[in-house]
């Protein structure tokens, strides 16, 4: 059961939500079209990003770009509370200066490393206040509210980046166990044949056991995980300047048309449109 204390969606460019969930569940791996700021308030939760994970505590601040896959595992029914902001990076790109890049903490780290740190109670309340202020401005129809919305987002981003610059990001834990090893193997071998049978053979286990174990521990089928991982990698190659055909091959797709269809289905847009958007 989930309750949203405040929520707004200003077109597709900005989305914020403060939520409270009171059931245990394993979320599926996913990525977003926009960048994300995540602030953990309460609960018994493991947060997985790429091959790593964090055991969350109150004040955990996590930032992610649109190319990092992640999921949550809520271990019990203790209230899980968090505040989240998703935003289109193009809203604030024009605000960057030689001295201040408000997107640096989202971009200047390796995928799945350097995403998280813990803020103190004063900083947590400050960040929550700015998130709520975004909600208030978004509901306003007054003249200038669109400008104030961008200004408020910029203020939030400056504070988030400031914290990441003054504090060293937390070192994540590697996802452990057999599933952790399989996830790391997939990440290092996307150019190889990654079928259920091939991976089961690599790890000398029964394919049906592998399928069951992977879904039980991640909430995803092995096929679904590999697919979203490949598209996330393709997004990174496209952002780095590779052509669509190069990204197709480098992400482990053998069929160009299948790559285009799959990318559009998973990412919500064609590779060509993604390049223009970035």
- Measured at the alpha carbon of residue 149, what is the angle toward residues 144 and 151, in degrees to the nearest 5? 95
| Residue 60: φ, ψ to 5° | -65, 125
* Cα torsion angle, 55, 58, 60, 66, sign: positive
Look at residue 26 in the predicted model and tell me its pLDDT.
86
Domains of the chain and any CATH numbers: 2-173 (2.60.120.280), 176-277 (1.10.10.60)
Q: Give, in order, the Cα–Cα distances in Å from 36 to each of 40, 115, 133, 192, 251.
A: 13, 11, 17, 31, 24
Look at residue 141 in the predicted model and tell me its pLDDT.
84
Q: 3-state class of 136 per DSSP? A: helix
Query: Is the entire prediction scored with pTM above 0.85?
Result: yes
Q: Which residue is it, tokens 């193997």?
A: 185
For every one of its 278 residues, what pLDDT tens digit does the chain have, with 9 covering 90 and above?
545 444 344 457 888 889 999 998 888 899 999 999 999 999 999 999 998 889 999 999 999 999 999 999 999 989 999 999 999 999 999 999 999 999 999 999 988 899 999 999 999 999 999 999 988 887 888 899 889 999 999 999 999 999 999 888 888 887 778 988 999 999 888 888 888 999 999 999 999 999 999 988 888 899 999 999 999 999 999 999 999 999 999 998 989 999 999 999 999 899 999 998 87
| Residue 121: φ, ψ to 5° | -65, -40
């Amino acid at each position: 059961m989930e309750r949203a204390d405040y929520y707004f969606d200003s077109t597709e460019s900005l989305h914020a939500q403060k939520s409270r969930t009171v059931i245990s569940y394993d979320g599926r791996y996913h990525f977003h079209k926009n960048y994300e700021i995540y602030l953990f308030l309460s609960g018994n939760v493991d947060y997985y990003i790429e091959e790593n994970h964090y055991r969350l505590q109150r004040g955990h601040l996590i930032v992610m770009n649109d190319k990092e896959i992640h999921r949550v595992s809520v271990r019990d029914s203790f209230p899980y509370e968090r505040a989240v902001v998703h935003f289109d990076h193009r809203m604030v790109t024009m605000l960057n200066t030689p001295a201040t890049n408000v997107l640096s903490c989202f971009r200047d780290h390796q995928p799945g490393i350097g995403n998280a740190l813990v803020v103190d109670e004063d900083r947590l309340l400050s960040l929550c206040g700015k998130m709520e202020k975004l909600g208030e401005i978004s509901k306003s129809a007054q003249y200038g509210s669109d400008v104030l919305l961008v200004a408020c987002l910029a203020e939030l981003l400056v504070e988030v980046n400031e914290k990441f610059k003054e504090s060293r990001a937390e070192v994540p834990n590697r996802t452990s166990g057999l599933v952790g090893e399989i996830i790391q193997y997939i990440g290092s071998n996307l150019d190889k044949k990654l079928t259920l049978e091939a991976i089961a053979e690599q790890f000398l286990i029964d394919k049906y056991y592998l399928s069951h174990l992977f879904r039980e521990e991640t909430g995803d089928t092995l096929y679904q995980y590999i697919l979203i991982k490949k598209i996330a990698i393709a997004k990174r190659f496209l952002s780095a300047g590779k052509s669509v055909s190069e990204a197709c091959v480098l992400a482990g797709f053998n069929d160009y048309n299948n790559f285009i269809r799959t990318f559009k289905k998973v990412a919500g847009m064609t590779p060509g449109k993604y390049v223009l958007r970035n």
